[in-house]
Amino acid sequence: MREFAALYWRLDSTTSTTDKLEALADYFRAAADDDAVCALRLLSGGRQSRGVSTALLRAWASEAAGIPLWLLEECYAQVGDLAETLALVLPRGGAVSAADGCGLAAWIRETIEPLREADDDRKKELVHDAWRRLGPDERIVWHKLLTGGCRVGVSRTLVAKALAEVAGIDAAVMTHRLMGGVETAEDYRRLFSPETTESGSQRPYPFFLASALDEPAEALGPVTEWQAEWKWDGARVQIVRRGGGCSVWTRGEELANESFPEILAAAAALPDGSVLDGELLAVRAGALLGFAALSRRIGRRRATKKVLADIPCVFVAYDLLEASGQDLRGLPLAERRRRLETLGLPTFPTADATLQLSPRLDADAWGDLAAARATARDRGVEGLMLKRRASVYGTGRTRGDWWKWKIEPLEIDAVLLYAQAGHGRRAGLHSDYTLGVWHEGRLVTIAKAYSGLTDAEIVEVDRIVRATTLERHGPVRICSPTLVFQLAFEGVSRSTRHKAGVAVRFPRIVRWRRDKQPTDANSLGDLVALIDAAAPSGAAS
């Protein structure tokens, strides 16, 4: 436990990838196999099932600290991290950790797993016992294990790199070996086996990324040199169909097979030795559900029946990177596209087809494409993609051949009504804002926004929030309306779940309108007019 806590703090104290890599490699070099299995699970975001509620932990910690519960909540608002708050208020234990010599796996077995079966009295005993055995910094890490998450800003890729370094093998091979999970010490030892057979066989290609178009499309030259497609509001993936198997890889190079079983099943019908680049879309009854819905699927390791039924997904292909086992990335897009079309996938939208073809938007003039782009919001897409027909499939984000031509966001001016202290870097600063617009002489809340201001502005807004607080409800402050923000969002629709009767999509603050008074802000009527102006239809066609 001590070693894992030390790793946690080493990772936490640096932003340098090299330092993190070194810390991880040091840890895995020294760790026992079963401890390493636990550490891997925790580092890759795996959660320990919760054996005790945070309500009980708060109650016991405030009791041990001799402070009322409300004061602990005040502390939480300042600290922005419950695990840390609990550790900071608890009486300081013995300076030397007694967890010494007890490995992570044993520690979890002894102090966390028994909590699940225990009654509250026994839980309290176990928790107090653990507090006695841990130093303050170790308590924070233990609280994090107890309450679920232990995220410390390391990507799976970084963990894979560190393990690859320890094993002395290629990082991509290690990434592949890590796929499917490491459940036992035996799985863990297999990561370090010298044989490399079959490894890499399901590996995707590095994704080629587009840049945002920041000049008029006409500047790109003749429209005939460009292939235009819809810019989907989905998740970029590659489908790898090789050696009798299939894999769905996200852009974060994570295997998403278990989240998208229906895609995987359909991909089995593709000819062996092919790799498709495209987008996962959430579609129900012909209507695009958008990224928010899709993220509920991505967020799950394993898709449940309910989620599969609620959020059906399709894959639309827009590039072919490999066919008959041949790497096609060096061919011009026009040729890759020709070969992609020979696979015989139906063009999106087609009912009851899981794998579909993303349509080309052929045009004779930029004006035609501009007109198509103007319909993007109605179709539930983000705009257009422009890809040079002669371009090869590159690596990473190389400017010049692939452009995102997104639609302009909708915007209104809204008034700050509530503010809440943020977490992590923003702990103690009121940085989560609830904004409102006018309706019948009153301000009604329409959106929460967490981003868009600079750090200096957040500090300034925090000060104003404190100075204009009318009421406090725990960490939330109700302010007298003085600040106006320009709010951008991707769409607006009617909603019965929101008090104002409308829901905005992906709201974010564009700028602080210091030049405007609250009375200058928009009204609910203005927002509703935006819905009527862009009545949502169904899928793009």
Interacting residues toward other proteins by CB under 8 A: 12-15, 65, 67-68, 70-72, 74-75, 78-81, 84-85, 88-89, 92, 423-429, 455-456, 459-460, 463
Question: Rounded CA gap, 272 and 245, in Å?
Answer: 8
DSSP 3-state of 385: strand
* Closer of 221 and 428 to other proteins (Cβ): 428
- Taking the least distance from each CB to other proteins, the nearer of 60 and 438 is 60
Strands 245-250 and 476-479, by their bridges, are unpaired
Q: How many residues are there in the chain? A: 541
Q: Nearest 5°: phi and psi at 327?
A: -75, 115
**Closest approach of Cβ 126 to other proteins, in Å?**
24
> Tokens representing 398?
């190389």
List own/partner pairs for 502-506 with CB under 8 A and 24 or more apart: 502/446, 502/527, 502/528, 502/531, 504/410, 504/446, 504/447, 505/290, 505/292, 506/292
Distance in angstroms (rounded) separating the CA atoms of residues 22 and 186: 24
**Smallest distance from the beta carbon of 74 to other proteins, in angstroms?**
5
**Token pair in block for residue 367:** 């004006």
Least Cβ distance, residue 427 to other proteins (angstroms): 3
When the beta carbons of 359 and 475 are compared against other proteins, the nearer one is 475
b/e code 212-250 from CB counts within 10 Å (16+ = b): ebeeebeebeebeebbbbbbbbbbbbbbbbbeeebbbbb
Query: CB-wise, 6 or 118, nearer to other proteins?
Result: 6
- Give 2 or 477: the residue with its C-beta nearer to other proteins: 477
Residue 158 phi/psi, 5-degree rounding, is -70, -40
Per-residue CA distances from 86 to 112, 151, 202, 243, 427 (Å): 17, 18, 45, 52, 15
β partners of residue 316: 279, 356
Of residues 116 and 466, the one with the C-beta less far from other proteins: 466
Q: Which two tokens stand for residue 45?
A: 């975001």
Q: How far is the CB of 135 from other proteins (least distance, A)?
A: 13
Nearest distance from C-beta of residue 76 to other proteins, angstroms? 9
Instruction: Identify which of residues 246 and 421 has a Cβ nearer to other proteins in the complex.
Output: 421
Nearer to other proteins, 136 or 536 (CB): 136
Q: Which CB, 217 or 429, lies closer to other proteins?
A: 429
- Kindly state the greatest CA–CA separation across the chain: 77
Nearer to other proteins, 92 or 442 (CB): 92
Residue nearer to other proteins on the CB measure, 58 or 123: 58
Nearer to other proteins, 426 or 511 (CB): 426
Please state, in angstroms and rounded to a whole number, the distance separating the CA atoms of residues 361 and 528: 31
Q: What is the DSSP string of 207-258?
A: PEE-EE--S-GGGG--GGGEEEEEE-SSEEEEEEEETTEEEEEETTS-B-TT
**What is the closest distance, in whole angstroms, from the C-beta atom of residue 46 to other proteins in the complex?**
22
* Between 84 and 138, CB nearer to other proteins: 84
Cα–Cα distance for residue pair 532/337, rounded to 1 Å: 38
Among residues 306, 310, 305, 331, the alpha carbon closest in space to that of 319 is found at 331
Say if CB 75 and CB 85 are below 8 A apart: yes
Closest CA relative to residue 470, chosen from 413, 414, 524, 416: 416
CA distance 429 to 419: 9
Q: Looking at beta carbons only, is 78 or 495 nearer to other proteins?
A: 78
- Identity at 264, one-letter amino acid code: L
Q: How far is the CB of 4 from other proteins (least distance, A)?
A: 17
What's the min distance (Å) between Cβ of 463 and other proteins?
Answer: 8
CA distances, 403 to each of 215, 387, 388 (Å) = 11, 6, 9
Query: CB of residue 468 vs other proteins: minimum separation in angstroms?
Result: 14
User: Which is nearest to 241 in space by CA: 261, 260, 269, 262?
Assistant: 269
- Of 286, 52, 288, 252, nearest to 158 by C-alpha is 252
